[in-house]
Amino acid sequence: MYIRKSIRSYGGRTYSNYVLVESVHTPKGPRQKTVCSLGDLSPRRREDWLKLAHRIEDALVGQSDLLDRNDPQVAEIVSRVRARRRNDERPDAQRPPPPSLPHASGRTLINVDASGVATERHREAGPVHVGYQFWQRLELDRILRDCKLSQAVCRLACVMTLNRLIAPSSEHAMPDWIRRTALADILGVDFDGLEEDPLYQILDKLHPHRAAIEAKLVARERTLFNLEPTIYFYDLTSTYFEGLAAKNAKAQRGYSRDHRPDCKQIVVGLVVNRDGFPISHEIFAGNTQDRTTLATMLDRLRDRVGLREGATVVLDRGMAYDDNIAELKTRKLDYVVASRPRLPRSIPLRRRPRSKSRPALKTSRPTCSAAASNASPRMQPFAPNMSGACWPTSINSRAASPMEGLSSATRSTRQSDD
């Protein structure tokens, strides 16, 4: 609904009138129908007209305003609208029967008390319907059938994927979730007797075909969403096991991102594109260092999705090593990587002019062993830098500022090196 202004001239004077209008659908298209006249609303601000129309529309459908439930103006307009609608309605004797109940012998119309109607087995349909539409658009049924998987496996893989997408739960709790949704009606399958044992076996049946599934899914996503294979983001994470994991050869103890060094774990490497779509993944042993996985993942990208020369690979600081950079250059790939800090040979400090009233600093450059043996309790031993020279972390001097003493020591070290 909205409010429309009507202007009329009569007897040399101009009159303004505001009417409440609603859009209705007719066989000839949408038409505007005048609901009632509101009179002169000129004292009201123009932005308040739309608010008034919305409040009237909400009141007509039974939704009251939480802030102002007893608005006399809205109540008066609503009563006029309802009175006009009752006058426009034809008597029940002249009203045609509904299309779903045509006149026929043997049919009886009865009145139903809506307050006594009860429902049961409520099922959620919206999210699973949207998820299944994307499952179909990605042609995952065709991809799984190309891997020679049975229809039952494809169907259970579909419901497990939708569960991960909508309400992630374990395989033990998944059958109850499936029965609370409309998946049985959508897929045309009866899941009343479904147990968790078949669900535990699905991933074991999909695992041998993971390379083919990833390659075909990436190709379909590129066509469907117009994705460009130009940028790849690579990172790793880990997940740990509470048990012994004795039959899992890749379950090993290593650096735990979950702060559980007491548990065995595996390392998961994942590559996504610039739009966040997963491209490829790989499972490594739990004691694998991040820096040693790059070459393996680049081989997976080459074999599964066709890694092209000139593509850009984005890495984090944990893989910024010379051998990995050389590997990327050998494959003619561009890269973006955070540089690793290197220990400087000396600490460059700005010289400050020496005050005439301040005594000169007395510094010396003994050997590392001598400095360590002759150091006072308040001094720290000398530390060798990368070039083999020694520079002190503390100096026995009468300088008021420790930074000036460190600057003098650095200058003394440089002069001795020269």
State the DSSP H helix or E strand holding residue 374, giving kind and residue range, or none if neither. helix 368-374
State the DSSP H helix or E strand holding residue 166, giving kind and residue range, or none if neither. helix 151-166
Output the CA torsion sign for 86, 89, 94, 98: negative
Residue type, 137: R
Tell whether pTM > 0.75. Answer: no
Distance CA(187)–CA(129), nearest Å, equals 10
- pLDDT value of residue 356: 57
pLDDT interval class at 62 (50, 70, 90): low
Interval 64-116: pLDDT, tens: 655 455 667 777 777 777 776 666 665 554 555 555 555 545 567 788 887 88
Query: What is the percent of the chain where pLDDT is above 90?
Result: 48
Structure tokens at 208: 């041998």
Q: Judge whether 181 and 124 are in contact, CB under 8 Å.
A: yes
Distance CA(218)–CA(84), nearest Å, equals 61
- pLDDT value of residue 162: 96
Distance CA(417)–CA(390), nearest Å, equals 10
- pLDDT value of residue 53: 72
- pLDDT value of residue 367: 44
Mean per-residue pLDDT, 377-395: 41
State the DSSP H helix or E strand holding residue 294, giving kind and residue range, or none if neither. helix 294-304
117 versus 92: the higher-pLDDT residue is 117
Distance CA(11)–CA(402), nearest Å, equals 97
Does residue 302 carry a pLDDT above 60? Answer: yes
Distance CA(277)–CA(218), nearest Å, equals 9
Structure tokens at 96: 């045609």
Distance CA(126)–CA(137), nearest Å, equals 17
Cα-Cα-Cα-Cα torsion 282, 283, 289, 291, nearest 10 degrees, comes to 0
Distance CA(34)–CA(6), nearest Å, equals 12
Mean per-residue pLDDT, 330-358: 70
Distance CA(2)–CA(53), nearest Å, equals 6
Mean per-residue pLDDT, 376-384: 42
